[in-house]
Amino acid sequence: MPKITRREFVKTTTVAAAGVAVASALPRRADAADLSYKPEKGAKLRLLRWKRFVAGDEEQWMANTKKFTEKTGVEVRVDNEGWEDVRPKAAVAANVGSGPDIILGWFDDPHQYPDKLVDVSELAGYIGKKYGGWYDVCQRYGTRDGKWIALPLGVIGNLMVHRISHVKAAGFDGIPKDLPGFLKLCQALKAKGTPAGLALGHAVGDGNDWVHWLVWSHGAKLVDEKGNVAINSPETVAALEYAQQLYQTFIPGTLSWLDPHNNKAFLDGQCSLTNNGISIYYAAKTSPEPKLKEMADDIGHGNWPIGVSGKPTNFMQVTQAMVFKYSKFPNAAKEYLRFMWEWDQMDSWMQKSIGYVTGPYKAQEKSAVWTVDPKHTPFRDVTGTLLDNGYAYKLGAASAAAMADAILIDMVAEAASGQQTPKAAAERAEKRAQRYYKI
């Protein structure tokens, strides 16, 4: 049914892939001409992307890619690697000067080798204009010195996954919005025998997500605006003392937790609160066992508490597409990206990814994936709450090195477990970070 909006144009979009039909009204500026790149003659593309988190993701991505091939005649070969293994491959490609034309990387990967990447400012400008603008954090990750060096694809949302009934039994009505409340919740959960657990091993996803939030929400940061290491501060010590108290309420063993551990523990009912993407809910919902299906109804996704600044300071994994300069078919690559980022493809892909990925531009909030299941909705708004891992300075080789070296995770783990005092842990982190941020 056509809906009349305030704008002149009304558009009804039908998603053709896999029998999912959706009608949505997408406001559109009448004068935005469709940008289009002409692929080179005989172009063939190689795309390296991270392995899907859900089957639907890959199916829809490949279906969309097929549409592209049918439309332009450009064949696209898609290779998958585990999400963490894409980085060594991208590193090799950047170094060697040969490899896939497009790689879907993570975080500040593009900032480590910006001169090896094709400038995609024009494409990014077009997409941003057409779809309500990019989220700030996506812009920060995708641009360097005013130029776009990568096209952000989305954010893997990471929220406080909890058992609604256990939280209620502990006397709370959901995840508290402030830090003291959150601590009280965890203490109550432990008292009731339904403890929380957050990863303190070298968990590149979940571990980084929560320790960055911890540090930032207390007003601390790794580097200041001038690029000086600023981690050794009273705010950090406060954050670490908070972490110590939190750790007392955790299920044992979190110091060894990598990314999959919290999924296992939660699904087994041993852990009632953890930070994770939508994978736990999805595993429970689609499981053939009645026990897990029941648990799915009891799973809630809560927002991260807000810290001393009054504004959210979260951290989640951002993925983006990079086109390499060594590619023989840069126009074909850009056209492929343009096609895949257009609403038909992006929306259908987000829907089939059942909420794993939150889109990079503001129009994504209209996607049906956020309303088809109320438990998805909290993931819709995550991107606006994010800071990037270069905060408060720029992204670059130093920020990448600091995060890869797990400086923040180790600092929090050392303080929480009592291996170091908070002050000592902060000092050690400072020394380690100074090796990378030498100005």
Partner 1 sequence: MRERAQDGPGLEHWESLPRRVVTVYLPLAVFLFVLLFPFYWMAITTFKPNAELYDYRTYSPFWVVHPTLAHIKKLLFDTSYPSWLWNTVLVSVSSTFMSLAASVLAAYAIERLRFRGSRYVGMGIFLAYLVPPSILFIPLAAMVFNLGLFDTRLALILTYPTFLVPFCTWLLMGYFRTIPYELEECALIDGATRFQVLWKIVLPLAVPGLISAGIFAFTLSWNEFIYALTFVSSSEVKTVPVGVITELVEGDVYHWGSLMAGALLGSLPVAILYSFFVEHYVSGLTGAVKE
Partner 2 sequence: MPSGLALLSRLQNSRNALGALFMLPAAALLLVFLTYPLGLGAWLGFTDTTIGRPGRFVGTENFRSLFQDSVFWLSVFNTFVYTAAASVLKFGLGLWLALILNRNLPFKSLLRAIILLPFIVPTVLSAIAFWWIFDSQFSVISWTLQRLGLIHHYIDFLGDPVNARLSLIAANVWRGIPFVAISLLAGLQTISPSLYEAATLDGATPWQRFRHVTFPLLTPIIAVVMTFSVLLTFTDFQLVYVITRGGPMNATHLMATLAFQRAIPGGQLAEGAAIAGAMVPFLIGAILFSYFGLQRRRWQQGATDA
- 358 vs 278: CA distance, rounded Å: 11
Question: CB of residue 371 vs partner 1: minimum separation in angstroms?
Answer: 24
Distances (CA, A) of 395 to 126, 146, 150: 24, 13, 13
Is 177 in contact with 305 (CB distance < 8 Å)?
yes
Residue 210: name the closest of 155, 277, 300, 165 by CA: 277
Q: How many residues bind partner 1 (CB under 8 A)?
A: 41
Task: Output the DSSP codes for 192-228.
Answer: TT--B----SS-TTHHHHHHHHHHHHTT--SB-TTS-
- The answer to whether 265 contacts partner 2 (rule: CB under 8 A) is yes
Residue with tokens 């601590």: 183
Q: Is 54 in the site for partner 1 (CB under 8 A)?
A: yes
Q: Does 105 bind partner 2 (CB under 8 A)?
A: no
Report the alpha-carbon distance of residue 27 to residue 51 in Å, rounded: 33
Choose the binding region for partner 2 from 46-54, 217-225, 255-263, 374-382 (rule: CB under 8 A).
255-263
Residue 106, helix vs strand vs coil: strand
The sign of the torsion formed by the CA atoms of 54, 60, 61, 62 equals positive
Q: Which residue, 141 or 343, is less far from partner 2 as judged by CB?
A: 141
212 is a contact residue toward partner 2 (CB under 8 A)? no
Is 105 strand, coil or helix? Answer: strand
User: Does residue 115 interact with partner 2 by CB under 8 A?
Assistant: yes
Please, what is the minimum distance in Å from the beta carbon of residue 299 to partner 2?
19
209 binds, among partner 2, partner 1, none (CB under 5 to 8 A by kind): none
Rounded least distance, CB 212 to partner 2, Å: 16
**Helices within 371-421 (DSSP H only):** 397-404, 407-417
Nearer to partner 2, 94 or 160 (CB): 94
Given candidates 29, 291, 325, 328, which one binds partner 1 under the rule CB under 8 A? 291
Query: Does 264 engage in binding with partner 1 (CB under 8 A)?
Result: yes
Q: 329 near 314, Cβ under 8 Å?
A: no
Site string for partner 2, 59-98 (x = CB under 8 A): -------------------------x--xx--x--xx---
* Interaction between residue 256 and partner 2 (CB under 8 A): yes
Binding residues for partner 1 restricted to 326-365, rule: CB under 8 A: 356
How far is it, in rounded angstroms, from Cα 152 to Cα 341? 10
Q: Is 301 helix (H, G, I), strand (E, B) or coil?
A: strand
CA-to-CA distance for 334 and 284, rounded, in angstroms? 38
Locate 309 and state its tokens. 């600044």
Cα 430 from Cα 439, distance rounded (Å): 14
Q: Which pair of structure tokens corresponds to residue 24?
A: 């949505």
The two three-digit tokens of residue 213, written as one number: 């939030």
CA distance 111 to 316: 17
Q: Is 406 in the site for partner 2 (CB under 8 A)?
A: yes
| Binds partner 1 by CB under 8 A, chosen from 39, 56, 100, 152 | 100
**380: three-class secondary structure by DSSP:** helix
The 407-436 site mask, x for binding partner 2 (CB under 8 A), equals ---x--xx--x-x--------x--xx--xx
Under rule CB under 8 A, residue 400 binds partner 2? yes
**Chosen residue from 25, 169, 258, 372 binding partner 2 by CB under 8 A:** 258
Q: Using CB under 8 A, which of 264, 291, 311, 328 touches partner 2?
A: 264
Using the rule CB under 8 A, give the single segment among 28-36, 136-144, 199-207, 317-325 that binds partner 2: 199-207
Under a CB-based contact definition with an 8 Å cutoff, are residues 167 and 157 in contact?
no
* Interaction partner, residue 146 (partner 2, partner 1, none; CB < 5-8 Å by kind): none
* Residues forming the site for partner 2 (CB under 8 A): 84, 87-88, 91, 94-95, 112-116, 200-202, 204, 251-258, 261, 264-265, 268, 270, 397, 400-401, 403-406, 410, 413-414, 417, 419, 428, 431-432, 435-436
* Residues forming the site for partner 1 (CB under 8 A): 46, 48, 51-54, 77, 79-83, 85, 88-89, 91-92, 95-100, 156, 205-206, 259-260, 263-264, 267-268, 276-277, 279, 283, 287-289, 291, 356
